């Protein structure tokens, strides 16, 4: 071979390689989130950003679509053969990424793993008693009682391959006591639209398209490169410099800047997460000049505190017109929400003052106010604004802002008088989440997030009925009624649904969903 | 000599134990890891079970003893967030941090020493004054501002260099290096400048002060009197005497650069140990935090010990006391 011919063939090979790289690169989506995914094992944690990402690799029996409605995924149909026995028909002809066929054994092994005693996700499938194989493509989920929202829970319980887990000794979830790593933490084998190609924690996780996916793809991606970027400024810079196609979240204060830049835009939607203030309903305040009584026990005082907060001003000045003020503790897409109940009277400091005098606290009082920093969108700024608004009616709120882990430790231990908390109702996407966790009287399984000790027998009774009612209409009506009680009694003060903002480069289309989980199997790149 | 080394080693072990104990008592104030490990709808019962499984319900002294005995056996436990062995996670991140620190140190020396020499030799020159003022700015601007500015200029406006990450890396055994790929080297430039900038000004001022001191000394004057060229006097005689303290300081600074890499790593999403630590703090991931703090303490103790031993070798008076 002469030098010239070697040169030509070498050049040709380079050109072909470049062309192929170009073709592969054309549909690569490079994305960044503020935190890295925690692990590849869907049963090792319950962080919603991780579960959302893993949903590209693994799938559940059912899934949420773009409108957050439950639709078939690995199961094609289901029916209650008994009130506590839910029978699933499984999809046939589905293969895991390693080629193993998907069968009933995989469902049984995965659900048993998720609900195992040491599993961190077992609270995400609370009603499960057992899972039984009926035949190769039929399973029965046996529940401990009637459970109207079991399908919602199942969207979050992803299915792993039984043979693969057995082969790698990963049939049980990661056990923190054993000191041994679970194989599934760093490796994956799902049925989803994308397959794991490589993963370097904190640097890059690469997925490639699964050509063999059972569903008709609506996306046109061939590859997803995920990088975590914790610093907001860097994440935005990387989008604007063209190193990324998609970032979550886009910080509110930078939305204008991204919109003004060439080649990028922001997608905003109201999120499911409702921000609210919980209160101490016990006999004594922790941080007050009043030692013998708790003014927060008086509904007029709670109303006064609510009326004094000018949410319109907060929406305009702090949330840059992107939040949605609310009078209910759940967002509109959540079953149980009722538009007619969601009426927020305008803020009125005079009316609030009058209510306070009527309750006998015309001179005001001191009260502790606890706020997380950087857990929710602009949380500290909101708390500062509220503190100032309360000062106008004579209520002297002692604001404490601290890191989320400190904040929630204090709140859950019952050490706060008034505290901020946000609730997205995920994964169940149902008002029952708010009713059972935040409003129900504290007990072993209920009221885990009701440290203020709010208790209303009527609301408790409704909640207990909602838990087992299978008729959707009746159930929604009961949930609305319970939420109305909470609103009229001001069990908690609802503030707003915080906005959700993502940013994309031009030509990238990704439907935004209120649960803040990008579903890239609907994404396209032009 | 042997007695001195043994005494130093024992002291180091005590220092490490003290650091670990202080770190452990501090963890009580960063919040409850159980809250971040379980879903919002977990019941009080679930929380309690997990707390018991992790041993968090036991007194701090018991937890501390268990941690120390684990470390003695080389076990740092499993990360609460990532569910992976902490030792493995740190080993993965260590090369990234060390390569960044090395690059920053080389950058600082390559820039700091020549500028220092120049400003010492031309104390009244216009360029020297500009460099001196520039170094003041370098010392007073917070490093994260420098980092963001570098990203804005070189990534967003000029589009020359990547704004985040480490680029492609090559695996050599367990060590992952970014020195061998183009994207790895390009990714290294901005973080190394950000981390090294403060050191540049420090080294430059140190070299300048030391060199001016040496230039005034008798032996330099005699060298000049002997009719040696300026070049031979400045670089052959003066510079060598200048560099001794500089090397000591740079060695000691390596430790603090490893510790301060946290900020650089956060700004540039550099996948090193500092980034790991920051994430661990926000999650209250106690095994990762304790391992990191112990490791950083180890680096400082080791560097100090090496310096002590060097002094010991240089200064015979120390052996009398030992």
Residues B54, B106, single domain; the answer is: no
- Residues A452, A520: one domain? no
Structural element, H or E, at residue A501: strand A493-505
| B55 domain residue, yes or no | yes
Q: Which residue, among B26, B45, B78, B291, would best test binding to A if mutated, counting the most A CBs under 10 Å from its CB?
A: B78
A349 and A489, same domain (yes or no):
yes
SS3 content of chain B, % helix, strand, coil (to 5): 75, 0, 20
Contacts of B47 in chain A (CB under 8 A): 448
Q: What is the DSSP letter of A272?
A: E
On whether the CB atoms of residues A189 and A96 are closer than 8 A, the answer is yes
Instruction: Using an 8 Å CB-CB cutoff, list chain B residues near A243.
Output: 155, 162-164
B319 located within any domain: no
Q: What is the mean pLDDT of residues A184-199?
A: 93
Domain span at residue A232 reads: 1-36+201-263+506-526
**Are residues A391 and A342 part of one domain?**
yes
CB contact under 8 A, A238 and B164: yes
Q: Which of A382, A456, A447 is nearest to A414 (CA)?
A: A447
Cβ contact B164:B237 at 8 Å: no
Select from A273, A523, A514, A220 the least CA-distant residue to A379: A273
Tell whether A408 is covered by a domain: yes
Q: Which of A142-151, A451-460, B74-83 has the lowest mean pLDDT?
A: B74-83
Residue A46, SS3?
A: coil
CB proximity A275 to B under 8 Å = no
**pLDDT bracket for residue A12 (50, 70, 90):** very low
Residue B1 CA to residue B5 CA, distance in Å, equals: 6
Helix (H, G, I), strand (E, B) or coil at B215: helix
Which residues of chain A from 376 to 415 reach within 8 Å of chain B, CB to CB? 403-409, 412
Cβ neighbours of A46 in B, within 8 Å: 38-39
B28 occurs within a structural domain = yes
Q: What CA–CA distance (Å, rounded) separates A504 from A512? A: 11
> Nearest CB to A405: which of B30, B152, B278?
B30
Is the same domain home to B58 and B98?
A: no
Q: Distance (Å, rounded) from C-alpha B213 to C-alpha B245?
A: 12
Are A113 and A55 in a shared domain? Answer: yes
Residue B79 placed within a domain = no
Extract the tokens encoding A303. 């109303």
Instruction: Specify whether A318 is located in the same domain as A378.
Output: yes
How many domains in chain B?
2
Residue A103 shares a structural domain with residue A10 = no
The residue of A123, A372, A376, A442 whose CB has the most chain B CBs within 10 angstroms, and thus the best one to mutate to test that interface, is A123
Average pLDDT over residues A209-226: 93
Which run of H or E residues covers position A371? strand A365-372
Which of B72, B107, B130 is the last residue before a domain boundary?
B72
Task: Spell out which residues of chain A touch residue B37, defining contact as CB-CB under 8 Å.
Answer: 45, 120
A223-237, A493-507, B245-259: segment of lowest average pLDDT? B245-259
Alpha helices in A198-310 (DSSP H): 232-240, 255-260, 299-308
| Nearby residues of A194 by Cβ (< 8 Å), 6 or more positions away | A56, A57, A207, A208, A209, A210, A221, A224, A520, A521
pLDDT band per the 50, 70, 90 thresholds, residue A11: very low
Residues B93 and B36 in one domain: no
Q: Is A159 left (phi over 0), alpha (psi -120 to 50) or beta?
A: beta
Q: Tell whether the model's pLDDT for residue B121 goes beyond 70.
A: yes
Which pLDDT belongs to residue A25?
52
Domain region containing B64: 2-72
Assign A175 a pLDDT band (cuts: 50, 70, 90): low
Find chain A residues with C-beta within 8 A of B151's C-beta. 233-234, 237
A292 occurs within a structural domain: yes
Residue B299 resides in a domain: no
Q: How far apart are CA A56 and CA A97, in angstroms?
A: 12
Asked, for residue B203, whether it belongs to a domain, the answer is yes
Q: What's the pLDDT score for residue B317?
A: 63
CATH number at residue A292: 3.10.105.10
Say if residue B237 is in the same domain as residue B93.
Answer: yes
Give strand ranges (E) for A34-160.
Answer: 62-64, 70-72, 75-82, 85-90, 128-135, 138-143
**A70 — pLDDT class (breaks 50, 70, 90):** very high
The domain spanning residue A170 has which CATH number?
A: 3.90.76.10
What is the structure's pLDDT at B316?
A: 62
* pLDDT value of position A318: 92
Q: Please indicate, yes or no, if residue A396 is contained in any of the structural domains.
A: yes
Return the higher-pLDDT residue of A31 and B174.
Answer: A31
Kindly state whether residues B30 and B123 are assigned to the same domain.
Answer: no
Are A317 and A425 part of one and the same domain?
yes
Q: Judge whether A166 lies within some domain.
A: yes
Residue A82 Cα, gap to closest chain B Cα (Å): 27
Q: Does A85 touch chain B (CB under 8 A)?
A: no
A85-90 and A138-143: which strand pairing?
Answer: antiparallel
pLDDT at A21: 41
pTM for this entry: 0.84
CATH for A519: 3.40.190.10
Residue A195 lies in a domain: no
- Provide, as residue numbers in chain A, all residues whose Cβ is less than 8 Å from the Cβ of B39: 46, 121, 123-124, 427
**Residue B181 vs residue B38, higher pLDDT:** B181
A401 chain-B contacts, CB cut-off 8 A: none
- Structural domain contains residue A208: yes
Would you call A227 and B164 a contact, using CB atoms and an 8 Å cutoff? yes
Q: Which pLDDT score, from 0 to 100, does residue A4 have?
A: 45
* pLDDT tens figures, B230-255: 888 888 778 877 777 787 788 788 88
pLDDT score, position B69: 85
Give the per-residue SS3 of B227-267.
CCCHHHHHHHHHHHHHHHHHHHHHHHHHHHHHHHHHHHHHH
One domain, residues B162 and B259: yes
Q: What is the CATH number of the domain that holds B136?
A: 1.10.3720.10
Residue B309 lies in a domain: no
Whether the pLDDT of residue A367 is over 50: the answer is: yes
Q: Are A48 and A32 contained in the same domain? A: no
Report whether pLDDT(A337) > 70.
Answer: yes
Residues in B touching A228 (Cβ below 8 Å): 269
Residue B132 CA to residue B135 CA, distance in Å, equals 5
Between A174, A409, A449, which is nearest B31 by CB?
A409
A273: closest CA among A77, A499, A451? Answer: A499
At A18 the pLDDT is: 40
Specify the pLDDT at position B303: 83
Mean pLDDT of chain B: 84
**Vertex A267: Cα angle to A265 and A269 (nearest 5):** 160
- Which pLDDT belongs to residue A176? 64
CA dihedral over A74, A78, A84, A85, signed as positive or negative: negative
- Check CB contact under 8 Å for A234 and B275: no
Q: What is the per-residue pLDDT for A194?
A: 96
Each residue's pLDDT tens digit, A377-425: 899 999 999 999 999 999 999 999 998 878 988 998 899 999 999 998 8
pLDDT over threshold 60, residue B64? yes
pLDDT of residue B319: 57
| B145 and B171 both lie in a single domain | yes
The answer, for A360 touching chain B at a CB cutoff of 8 Å, is no
- The DSSP letter of residue A183 is G
For residue A10, being part of any structural domain is answered with yes
pLDDT mean over B282-310? 84
Please indicate, yes or no, whether residues B102 and B44 belong to a single structural domain of this protein: no
All residues of chain A having their beta carbon less than 8 Å from the beta carbon of residue B163 are 234, 237-238, 241, 243
Q: Which residue has the tokens 């940013």?
A: A503
> At residue A362, does pLDDT exceed 50?
yes
The answer to whether B269 contacts A405, with C-beta atoms less than 8 Å apart, is no
User: In sequence order, which residues have a C-beta less than 8 Å from that of residue B296 and are 6 or more positions away?
Assistant: B258, B259
| A447 to chain B: closest CA residue | B43
Q: How far apart are the C-alpha atoms of A434 and A498, rounded to whole Å? A: 17
Q: In three state form, how does the secondary structure of A54-79 look?
A: HCCCCCCCEEECCCCCEEECCEEEEE
Residue A377 in domain: yes
Q: Are residues B272 and B133 in the same domain?
A: yes
For residue range A261-317, what is the model confidence (pLDDT) as tens digits? 888 999 998 889 999 999 999 999 998 888 888 999 999 999 999 999 999 999 999
Closest CA to A192 of A161, A171, A168: A161
Residue A444 or residue A467, greater confidence: A467
Higher pLDDT, B322 or B278: B278
pLDDT mean over B147-167:
90
Residues A494, A511 within the same domain: no
Point out the residue among B30, B32, B151 whose CB comes nearest to the CB of A234. Answer: B151
Measured over all CA atoms, what is the biggest interatomic distance in chain A, rounded to whole angstroms? 102
Domain end point (choices B38, B72, B106): B72
Please say if the pLDDT value at position A171 is more than 60. yes
Q: What phi-psi label fits residue B159: left (phi over 0), alpha (psi between -120 and 50 degrees) or beta?
A: left
The residue with greater pLDDT, B123 or A237, is: A237
Q: Give the separation between CA A452 and CA B321, rounded to whole angstroms.
A: 65
Q: Are residues B143 and B276 in the same domain?
A: yes
Measured distance CA(A225)–CA(A204) in Å, rounded: 7
DSSP annotation of A399 reads: E
Which chain A residues are Cβ-neighbours of B169 within 8 angstroms? 200
Structurally, chain A folds into a number of domains equal to 3
- Note whether B42 and B8 are same-domain residues: yes
How confident is the model over B17-57, as pLDDT tens digits? 888 888 877 777 777 788 777 776 677 777 788 888 788 88
Same domain, A224 and A308: no
As given in the structure block, the two tokens for residue A10 are 């070498």
Does any CB of chain B come closer than 8 Å to the CB of residue A243?
A: yes
Burial class from Cβ neighbours inside 10 Å (0-12, 13-18, 19+) for residue A170 reads buried
Digit-coded pLDDT (tens) for A24-51: 456 999 999 988 898 899 998 888 889 9
Give the Cα separation of A95 and A73 in Å (integer): 13
- Tell which of B42, B72, B102 closes a domain: B72
A245 alpha carbon, distance to own chain's centre: 23
- Chain B nearest C-alpha distance from A274 (Å): 14
Quote the minimal CA–CA distance from B242 to chain A in Å: 40
Phi/psi at A431 (5° precision): -60, -20
Contact B40 A449 (CB under 8 A): yes
A176 and A96 fall within a common domain: yes
CA-based nearest distance A295→chain B, Å: 28
Q: With respect to residue B83, please indicate whether it lies within any of the assigned structural domains.
A: no
Do B139 and B247 reside in the same domain of the chain? yes
């Amino acid at each position: 071979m002469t030098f010239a011919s070697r040169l030509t063939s070498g050049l040709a090979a380079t050109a072909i390689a470049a062309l192929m790289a170009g073709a592969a690169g054309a549909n690569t989506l490079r994305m960044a989130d503020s935190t890295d995914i925690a692990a590849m094992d869907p049963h090792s944690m319950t962080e919603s950003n991780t579960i959302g990402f893993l949903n590209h690799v693994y799938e559940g029996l059912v899934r949420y679509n773009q409108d957050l409605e439950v639709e078939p995924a690995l199961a094609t149909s289901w029916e209650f053969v008994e009130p506590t026995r839910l029978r699933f028909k499984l999809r046939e002809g589905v293969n895991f990424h390693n080629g193993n066929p998907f069968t009933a054994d995989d469902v049984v092994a995965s659900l048993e793993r998720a609900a195992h005693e040491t599993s961190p996700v077992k609270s995400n499938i609370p009603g499960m008693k057992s899972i039984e194989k009926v035949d190769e493509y039929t399973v029965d989920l046996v529940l401990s009682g009637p459970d109207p929202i079991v399908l919602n829970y199942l969207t979050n319980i992803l299915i792993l391959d039984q043979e693969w887990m057995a082969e790698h000794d990963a049939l049980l979830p990661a056990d923190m006591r054993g000191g041994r790593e679970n194989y599934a933490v760093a490796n994956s084998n799902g049925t989803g639209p994308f397959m794991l190609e490589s993963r370097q924690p904190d640097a890059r996780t690469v997925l490639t398209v699964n050509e063999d996916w059972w569903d008709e793809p609506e996306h046109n991606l061939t590859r997803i490169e995920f990088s975590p970027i914790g610093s907001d400024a860097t994440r935005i810079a990387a989008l604007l410099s063209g190193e990324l196609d998609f970032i979550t979240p886009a910080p509110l204060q930078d939305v204008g800047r991204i919109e003004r830049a060439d080649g990028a835009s922001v997608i905003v939607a109201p999120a499911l997460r409702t921000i609210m203030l919980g209160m101490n309903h016990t006999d004594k305040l922790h941080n007050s000049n009043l030692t013998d009584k708790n003014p927060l026990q008086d509904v007029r005082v709670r109303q006064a505190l609510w009326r004094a907060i000018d949410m319109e001003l907060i929406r305009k000045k702090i949330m840059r017109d992107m939040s949605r003020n609310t009078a209910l503790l759940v967002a509109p897409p959540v079953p149980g929400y009722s538009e007619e109940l969601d009426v927020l009277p305008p803020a009125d400091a005079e009316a609030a003052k009058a209510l306070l005098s009527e309750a006998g606290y015309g001179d005001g009082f001191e009260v502790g106010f606890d706020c997380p920093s950087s857990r929710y969108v602009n949380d500290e700024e909101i708390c500062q604004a509220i503190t100032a608004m309360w000062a106008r009616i004579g209520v002297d709120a002692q604001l404490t802002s601290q890191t989320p882990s400190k904040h929630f430790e204090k709140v859950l231990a019952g050490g706060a008088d008034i505290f901020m908390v946000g609730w997205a109702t995920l994964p169940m996407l149902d008002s029952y989440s708010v009713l059972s966790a935040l409003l129900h009287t504290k007990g072993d399984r209920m009221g885990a997030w009701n440290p203020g000790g709010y208790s209303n027998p009527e609301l408790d009774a409704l909640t207990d009925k909602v838990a087992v009612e299978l008729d959707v209409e009746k159930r929604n009506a009961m949930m609305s009624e319970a939420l109305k009680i909470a609103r009229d009694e001001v069990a908690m003060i609802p503030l707003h649904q915080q906005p959700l903002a993502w940013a994309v480069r031009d030509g990238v289309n990704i439907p935004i969903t209120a649960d803040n989980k990008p579903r890239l199997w609907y994404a396209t790149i032009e | 000599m042997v007695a001195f080394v043994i005494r130093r080693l024992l002291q180091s072990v005590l220092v490490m134990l003290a650091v670990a104990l202080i770190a452990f008592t501090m963890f009580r104030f960063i919040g409850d890891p159980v809250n971040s490990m379980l879903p919002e709808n977990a019941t009080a019962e679930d929380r309690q079970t997990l707390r018991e499984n992790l041993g968090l319900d036991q007194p701090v002294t018991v937890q501390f003893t268990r941690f120390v005995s684990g470390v003695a056996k080389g076990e740092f436990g499993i990360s609460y967030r990532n569910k992976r062995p902490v030792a493995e996670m740190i080993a993965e991140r260590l090369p990234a941090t060390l390569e960044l620190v090395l690059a920053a140190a080389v950058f600082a020396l390559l820039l700091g020493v020549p500028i220092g020499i120049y400003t010492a030799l031309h104390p009244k020159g216009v360029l020297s004054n500009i460099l001196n003022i520039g170094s003041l700015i370098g010392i007073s601007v917070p490093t994260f501002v420098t980092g963001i500015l570098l990203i804005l200029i070189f990534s967003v406006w000029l589009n020359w260099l990547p704004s985040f990450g480490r680029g492609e890396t090559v695996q050599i055994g367990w060590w992952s290096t970014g020195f061998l790929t183009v994207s790895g080297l390009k990714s290294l430039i901005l973080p190394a400048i950000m981390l090294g900038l403060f050191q540049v000004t420090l080294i430059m001022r140190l070299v300048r002060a030391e060199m001016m001191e040496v230039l005034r000394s008798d032996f330099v004057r005699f060298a000049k009197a002997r009719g040696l060229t300026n070049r031979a006097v400045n670089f052959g005689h003066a510079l060598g005497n200048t560099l001794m303290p500089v090397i000591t300081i740079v060695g000691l600074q390596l430790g603090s650069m490893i510790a301060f890499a946290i900020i650089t790593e956060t700004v540039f999403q550099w996948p090193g140990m500092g980034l790991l630590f920051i994430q661990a703090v926000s999650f209250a991931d106690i095994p990762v935090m304790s391992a990191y703090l112990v490791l950083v303490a180890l680096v400082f103790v080791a560097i100090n010990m090496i310096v002590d031993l060097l002094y010991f070798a240089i200064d015979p008076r120390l052996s009398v006391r030992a």
